[in-house]
């Protein structure tokens, strides 16, 4: 039996408990063992839930912790404490991965455990593991991705006639949006995700502050209708170009000929261009309780298969990128066009 703890009983944390409970048979088949949630920690007083991280990190039964708290603190301190004791940490927390992922990965390596963050980008899409395992030998020239489920949900619903505020409210009710939805609609969440992807494929650490970032708050229904009449859709994209390099988050006009055109609602779509494999497209639910929790559990299983070993993600020895270009928007245009 592999004993785990969940830090943070929010949407994703609750989903992790549900995935582990409902798919115990499938987990046993792939892992050869059961996973048991021994503790759930939350800062709120909830019956059956612990408040003190020391109970968890001092319990020698605990092999893996799922950090689904979000935000920098106390997630950073708790992750640090667990890794220093050789307990692997699996997280959905892109803010923490962007800000401290390198340091935390180095601590994990030093203590023969792992820091995995599959759920931090692309929700339920098995994206980071695939990049790690299947793209290591590729020279990636470009990534263009719809990486925020909330924004895509809003833009899709605006196209169908709904106003921005009601579409955002629905995304919040469905558990897609961040606690502070400004992180979604102003593009910061996408910026963190494309910075993580750029870092993984380039072997240089890009941080969210280096991303030239614009959100969707200025997009009107008229913009969407104009795009539609020109055979295009407006999508919030994160775009990394190795040439430069540059990392941009902005609303783009996406032509019908692009597979990203048809990525709607909460779905994410990520196109990665490698010099040998050419274009590869990933598609799936980019936000929401169970898809995101499924990605966390996939990390828990990988950590459970590697107890006492560090899983190398490439983050522990990565150096900061020296300089990043900030390509300006074509003059006189409100929106960039994908592919131009």
Site residues (CB under 6 A) for ligand HSE? Answer: 123, 148-150, 176-178, 184, 189, 286-287
Closest distance to ligand HSE from the beta carbon of 72 (Å):
16
Selected catalytic residue, list 38, 94, 193, 289: 193
Closest distance to ligand HSE from the beta carbon of 184 (Å):
5
Residue carrying the six token digits 């893996």: 64
Strands (DSSP E) contained in 25-139 are 35-41, 62-67, 88-91, 115-116
Rounded-to-integer distance, Cα 189 and Cα 71, Å: 12
Cα–Cα nearest to 313, from 82, 143, 105 = 105
Q: Between residues 185 and 335, which has the closer beta carbon with respect to ligand HSE?
A: 185
Q: Between residues 292 and 316, which has the closer beta carbon with respect to ligand HSE?
A: 292
Closest distance to ligand HSE from the beta carbon of 302 (Å):
20
Closest distance to ligand HSE from the beta carbon of 156 (Å):
13
48: left (phi over 0), alpha (psi -120 to 50) or beta: left
C-alpha distances in angstroms, 55 versus 13, 35, 241? 18, 19, 45
| DSSP string of 270-307, one letter each residue | EEEEETTTEEEEEEEE-SSHHHHHHHHHHHHHHHHHTT
Closest chain position to ligand HSE (CB): 150
Q: Between residues 35 and 296, which has the closer beta carbon with respect to ligand HSE?
A: 296
Residue 268 and residue 125 in contact, taking contact as beta carbons nearer than 8 Å: yes
Rounded-to-integer distance, Cα 252 and Cα 337, Å: 5
Q: Between residues 56 and 247, which has the closer beta carbon with respect to ligand HSE?
A: 247
Rounded-to-integer distance, Cα 206 and Cα 17, Å: 32
Q: Between residues 79 and 310, which has the closer beta carbon with respect to ligand HSE?
A: 79
User: To 5 degrees, how large is the angle CA 273–CA 151–CA 230?
Assistant: 70
Closest distance to ligand HSE from the beta carbon of 150 (Å):
3
Annotation says 193 is catalytic: yes
CA atoms within 13 A on the CB side of 248: 22
By CB atoms closer than 10 A (0-12, 13-18, 19+), residue 34 is middle
Q: Between residues 178 and 186, which has the closer beta carbon with respect to ligand HSE?
A: 178
Closest distance to ligand HSE from the beta carbon of 330 (Å):
27
Q: Between residues 3 and 91, which has the closer beta carbon with respect to ligand HSE?
A: 91
Instruction: Report strand pairing: 140-146 vs 232-241.
Output: antiparallel
Closest distance to ligand HSE from the beta carbon of 276 (Å):
30
CB atoms within 10 A of CB 27: 21
By CB atoms closer than 10 A (0-12, 13-18, 19+), residue 279 is exposed
Catalytic annotation, residues: 193
């Amino acid at each position: 039996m592999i004993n785990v703890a969940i830090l943070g009983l929010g949407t994703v944390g609750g989903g992790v408990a549900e995935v582990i409970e409902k798919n115990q048979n499938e987990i046993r088949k792939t892992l050869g063992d059961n996973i048991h949630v021994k503790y759930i920690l939350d800062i709120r007083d909830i019956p059956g839930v612990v408040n003190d991280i020391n109970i968890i990190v001092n319990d020698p039964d605990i092999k893996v912790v799922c950090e689904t708290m979000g935000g920098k603190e106390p997630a950073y301190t708790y992750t640090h404490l667990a890794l220093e004791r050789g307990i692997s940490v699996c997280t959905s927390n892109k803010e923490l991965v962007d800000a401290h992922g390198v340091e935390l990965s180095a601590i994990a390596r030093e203590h023969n455990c792992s820091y995995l963050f599959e759920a931090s980008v692309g929700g339920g899409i098995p994206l980071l593991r695939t990049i790690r395992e299947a793209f290591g030998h590729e020279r990636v020239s470009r990534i263009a991705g719809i990486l925020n489920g909330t924004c895509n949900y809003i833009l899709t619903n605006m196209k169908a006639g709904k106003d921005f505020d009601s579409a955002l409210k629905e995304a919040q009710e469905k558990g897609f949006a961040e606690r502070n939805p400004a992180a979604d609609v102003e593009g910061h969440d996408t910026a963190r995700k494309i910075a993580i992807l750029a870092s993984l494929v380039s072997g240089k650490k890009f941080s969210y502050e280096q991303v030239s970032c614009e959100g969707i708050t200025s997009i009107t229904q008229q913009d969407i209708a104009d795009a539609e009449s020109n055979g295009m859709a407006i999508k919030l994209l994160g775009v990394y170009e190795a040439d430069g390099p540059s990392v941009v988050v902005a609303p783009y006009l996406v032509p019908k000929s692009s597979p990203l055109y048809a990525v709607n609602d909460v779905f994410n779509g990520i196109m990665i261009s490698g010099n040998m494999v050419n274009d590869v497209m990933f598609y799936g639910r980019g936000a929401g309780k169970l898809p995101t929790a499924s990605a966390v559990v996939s990390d828990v299983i990988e950590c459970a298969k590697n107890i006492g070993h560090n899983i190398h993600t490439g983050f522990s020895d990565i150096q900061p990128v020296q300089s990043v270009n900030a390509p300006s928007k074509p003059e006189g245009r409100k929106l960039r066009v994908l592919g131009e």
